Structure 1
Amino acid sequence: MPLQHVEAGDLVVAYEAFGPPGAPAAVLLHGFPYDVAAVRAAAERLAARGLHVVAPYLRGFGPTRFIDVATRRSGQQAALGHDLRAFIDALALVRPVVAGFDWGGRAACIVAALWPERVAGLVSCGGYNIQDIPSAQTPLSPAMEARLWYQFYFHGERGRAGLTANRRELAWLLWRQWSPTWPVSRETFAASAPAFDNPDFVDVVIHSYRHRYARVAGDPRFEATEARLAAQPAIAVPSIVLEGADSGLFAAAGTSALRRRFPRLVAHRVLAEVGHNPPQEAPETFADAVVEVACRRG
């Protein structure tokens, strides 16, 4: 799939496009540490069903680059949300469905929550993906804290050095820990690994995992957005939540709890033998959810 580029906000965003331009649109978003290969199979299925699909590389990944060398290499959640909004505007997409997981799911949730007029609906893998930074110092269970070891590792300079020196080995370890039942091959991983060679990858990742625990300041331009996100806003667009039953990171949420966050929840599906990366582990199910939300376009 030929790579395309567009200036959007702080970035020159590299992205892949599928399906007929002008058709109802969907934006599919990868997470950390993955790349657009995570959503490519789903994008091809959606294009075959008549949708126009775009899949961008997030800030700090693959060929996406910052326009200005002086721009702070922020990985905070508000930056991801603004990136997605700017990308939708730059491509003149008319109320696309936004869908993703991990960092990409967070960007999709933020745009759907704060700027619902920009999107037709949401597919969120992993539930309500907006960080509750004011509560970040509240400890979780020891078992859950152990699963988040990589986040605490990145809080120190040893973690920065480790990510710099071992980014591929660390990403492969996380893939296996987070999706223990996914029979992913080294060849599949190797196709995504070059995305981590982006010159801004380490700075963006380290800032992301420090900011979410209030250990570093964010970009001042996003303070107002972070204040809105701290209120944990509901997501009032038609939404489907997909969760992997075998995720090695987070346990599936209860549907009743999700309805408080998603007042227009269309469906909550827990996928057997799927881990943290539903778009790549179950691309047909992910694509079906995007179509189901798109059909509710008002």
Structure 2
Amino acid sequence: MATVTSPAPLLYVRTTLLDVAYETHGPIDGEPVILLHGFPYDPRGYDDIAPVLAERGYRVLVPYLRGYGPTRFINAQVMRSGQQAALAKDLLDFMDALSIPQATLAGFDWGGRAACIVAALWPQRVRGLVTGDGYNIQAISQSLKPRPPETEHRLWYQYYFHTQRGVDGLTANRRELCQLLWTLWSPSWAEGPSRYGLTAPSFDNPDFVEVVIHSYRHRFMYAPGDPALEYIEQALVPQPPISVPSISLCGADDGVGPPSLEDDDVEHFSGFYRRQVLPGVGHNVFQEAPQVTLQALLELLER
């Protein structure tokens, strides 16, 4: 599947902290499906997925995360947090603002983290979960333990963001840096270079740098979190299980987090769960493998 569809009309909804920009497809009374992007991506990653679900009668919503595209903070004084609890709370607030009691979620990277947290802590809000690369809830208390050298090498950009040089570099070269990450993380994705230009404008958001830098510092305990979100972070310390029906899609060619031979995440899922490793697919798993993603979503939606 290689056809790029035209973006849906852009809508906005106000939550407690944000004016969230989102695209919607399908009937307003259809069963809701929320598709969540990661860093450094945006809703364009679902252009080959959302319209097909809409044609089947589902109400599909694709928001821009905080710090991306037209989404904006309401208050200039609000902390530009990128921590995992902020992403999850944004998702809950988004659902509440649109009066969505329950939805099927799909997300990877940052968006997968938000989806996993909501599925773990508020399972009544989630009918099913398609997660990119398994259990995406950060074990922050373990983050300072050294990892194998090859893993440390792949995380160079995170350590770069811990420095002022990284802040300045992301500020001055955000499009070039993010394009490099696309290339490194999806080395076998032939369409990646042509698709990047559709997504790159989302990084011009005035809060992008601050949110990104905080995200990668907080996860290593190099930056404090938002005090208002501490109750969520504390609830995540024991690595709560995900009980909702879940499918994990992993790119075999993922350049930042290649999947292990054995599924290390299975113990974190207490309900229906299966893992699928996709040959020739990198980190941007849903955009690189839209047909497999659709099949996974429909499997959960039709259960």
In structure 2, which of residues 71, 92, 96 is the aligned counterpart of residue 89 of structure 1?
96
* Equivalent position of 2:3 in the other structure: none
1:141 aligns with 2:148: yes
Structure 2 unpaired stretches of 5+? 1-7
Retained in 2: the 8 A contact 1:132–1:232? yes
Compute the TM-score of the two structures, normalised by the length of structure 2: 0.95
CA–CA separation in structure 1 for the residues paired with 2:265 and 2:26: 32
Structure 1 unpaired stretches of 5+? none
* Equivalent position of 1:247 in the other structure: 254
- What is the total number of aligned residue pairs between the two structures? 296
CA–CA separation in structure 2 for the residues paired with 1:232 and 1:77: 13
Aligned Cα root-mean-square deviation (Å) = 1.1
1:125 aligns with 2:132: yes
**Cα distance, 1:48 vs. partner?**
1.7
Retained in 2: the 8 A contact 1:25–1:94? no
**For each residue in 1:179-219, what CA deviation from the matched residue of structure 2 results, as whole angstroms up to 9, or x when unmatched?**
00001254411111000000000000000000000001000
CA–CA separation in structure 2 for the residues paired with 1:240 and 1:141: 27
Q: 1:150 is matched by which residue type in structure 2?
A: Y
* Equivalent position of 1:60 in the other structure: 67
Q: 1:165 is matched by which residue type in structure 2?
A: A
Compute the TM-score of the two structures, normalised by the length of structure 1: 0.97
Q: 2:21 is matched by which residue type in structure 1?
A: A
1:19 aligns with 2:32: no
CA–CA separation in structure 2 for the residues paired with 1:168 and 1:23: 36
The residue matched to 1:233 in structure 2 has which SS? Answer: coil
**Cα distance, 1:254 vs. partner?**
5.4
1:159 aligns with 2:149: no
Retained in 2: the 8 A contact 1:85–1:111? yes
In structure 2, which of residues 94, 107, 111 is the aligned counterpart of residue 104 of structure 1?
111
1:45 aligns with 2:61: no
CA–CA separation in structure 2 for the residues paired with 1:195 and 1:252: 28
1:264 aligns with 2:271: yes
The residue matched to 1:279 in structure 2 has which SS? Answer: helix
* Equivalent position of 2:178 in the other structure: 171
Retained in 1: the 8 A contact 2:182–2:192? no
CA–CA separation in structure 1 for the residues paired with 2:262 and 2:15: 36
Retained in 2: the 8 A contact 1:127–1:253? no
CA–CA separation in structure 2 for the residues paired with 1:147 and 1:230: 25
**Cα distance, 1:279 vs. partner?**
1.2
* Equivalent position of 1:277 in the other structure: 284
